[in-house]
Amino acid sequence: MAGRKILMVALVTTILYGWLGTAWVFPSDPPPAGDEPESVAVRVYLTVGALPSDDPNSVVWDSVAPSEFKLAPQVHWPDRIQEVTVKSVKVRGLHNGQDVAILVEYQDPTEDAADAAALEFMVGDKKAHFAHGQPLLQVEGGPVNIWYWKKADGKATDMSAKGFKTLRPQDQQDVSATGAWQDGTWKVVFSRPLQTGDEHDVQIIPGEWSSVAFAFWDGQIVDGAIKEQGSQKAVSSWWYIRAEPQPDNSIFGYVVLGIAMAAGFEFFLIRKIRRGNQA
């Protein structure tokens, strides 16, 4: 009877070490602040090899879980509009430790030359408003980095702003973008090195949270004028984005050590039981 109890203790010990090892190797992914749910963040998954940076329709994107964000008309600065075409956007992200690619997918019934999309990031530690970093009540304002793509240009522009009417292209252009429209859906993939060394850029550090916002323009011609342009656009507020860090493989050593210790303890107990039975 005593032998069975000892064996049970040994078995439980082995399971406990194994469970602790699993908990260490696969830690939970906490929300960026407080108790916000995961739906407020873009998770940029770590992959190996080249990214589908120039192919919005690559099958690789089908394996990446999207995050979806609601959009609304921009109302902080004239000229305003009360209704926008793009109501929401699905966002997917990948990085390989050197470069990052972010795919935005949204509904737009027509393909037009003035169709456009943008990603916006806070730069530095100073909190900025998502409206170009404009100083507002209780928000001093800070610099933002904007990645802008337009169908007519077929490329991205790396831009900076710190308030309305301050939006300017950067001297150093680091961002690329490719768009594809099909059956009422735009897919635009933006890409860039994770770190650029440019003080005007957001620096994406794997494992660290950053703030991101989205904007879209429907360039359809209505009554001889472009439906949405300039400040007339669909926007989101700030959300969170995080590039997955490289895995810490050293933790596997602790798991192996724990299992070895548990196995050694179990062997010692079994040997002791056998000697007792022989006596």
Identify the sign of the CA torsion 144, 155, 102, 80.
Answer: positive
CA torsion angle 194 199 202 208 (round to 10): 70
The answer to whether the beta carbons of residues 103 and 61 sit under 8 Å apart is yes
Q: How many helices and strands (H and E) does the chain possess?
A: 2, 16
Q: Which is more confident, 149 or 4? A: 149
Determine how many CB atoms are found less than 10 A away from the CB of residue 132: 26
- Residues 166, 129: Cα–Cα separation, whole Å: 14
Q: Which is more confident, 150 or 25? A: 150
Model pTM score:
0.77
Q: Using one digit for the tens of pLDDT, what is the confidence trace for 36-55?
A: 444 689 999 999 999 999 99
Give the E-state strand segments of the chain in sequence order: 41-46, 67-70, 72-73, 88-95, 99-107, 116-122, 144-150, 155-161, 168-169, 176-182, 185-193, 209-217, 221-222, 225-226, 234-235, 239-243
* The predicted structure's pLDDT at residue 140: 62
Q: Using one digit for the tens of pLDDT, what is the confidence trace for 162-181?
A: 888 889 999 999 999 999 99
**CATH (residue range 32-243):** 2.60.40.1190
What's the mean per-residue pLDDT of the chain?
82
What residue spans define the domains of the chain? Answer: 2-23+250-278, 32-243
Burial 211-228 (b: 16+ CB within 10 A, else e): bbbbbbbbbbeeeeebbb
* The predicted structure's pLDDT at residue 181: 98
